[in-house]
Structure 1
Amino acid sequence: MKNYLLLLFAFALLCGCVNRTNQNKDQIHAKNTMRESLRHIVLFKFKESSSSADLKKIESAFIALPSKIKEIKDFEWGLNNSPEGLDKGFTHCFFVTFESEADRATYLPHPDHMAFVALLDGHVDDVLVLDYWSK
Structure 2
Amino acid sequence: MITHIVQFQFKSSVAPEKVQEICAHLVSLKDKCLHPTTQQPYIKSFKAGKQDSPEGMHNGITHVFVMELENNEDREYYLTKDPAHLGFVKSIDGLIEKAQVVDFTEGVF
TM-score interval (norm. to shorter)? 0.7 to 0.9
Q: Which has the higher helix share?
A: 1
Residue matched to 1:54: 18
Alpha-carbon distance in 2 for matches of 1:46, 1:115: 18
Q: Which has the higher strand share?
A: 2
Determine helix, strand or coil for the equivalent of 1:73: strand
Number of residues of Structure 1 aligned to a counterpart in Structure 2: 99
Superposed CA RMSD in Å reads 0.8
Aligned with residue 42 of structure 2, among 65, 71, 77? 71
> TM-score, normalized by length of structure 1?
0.71
User: Percent of aligned positions with the same letter in both sequences?
Assistant: 35
Residue matched to 1:83: 54
Note the 1:20-59 alignment, pairs <5 A: 37-59=1-23
The residue type equivalent to 2:30 in the other structure is P
- Residues 45 and 91, structure 1, Cα contact 8 Å, conserved in 2: yes
The Cα of 1:62 is off from its aligned counterpart by 0.5
Q: Kindly provide the CA deviation profile for residues 26-62 of structure 1, in whole angstroms up to 9, marking residues without a partner as x.
A: xxxxxxxxxxx10000000111001011101101100
The Cα of 1:73 is off from its aligned counterpart by 0.8
Note the residue ranges of structure 1 that are not aligned, 5 or more in a row.
1-36
- Residues 71 and 107, structure 1, Cα contact 8 Å, conserved in 2: no
Residue matched to 1:107: 78
Residue matched to 2:94: 122
The Cα of 1:87 is off from its aligned counterpart by 0.7
Note the residue ranges of structure 2 that are not aligned, 5 or more in a row.
34-40
Moved over 3 A (4+): none
Larger Rg: 1
Alpha-carbon distance in 1 for matches of 2:97, 2:68: 25
- Residues 38 and 132, structure 1, Cα contact 8 Å, conserved in 2: yes
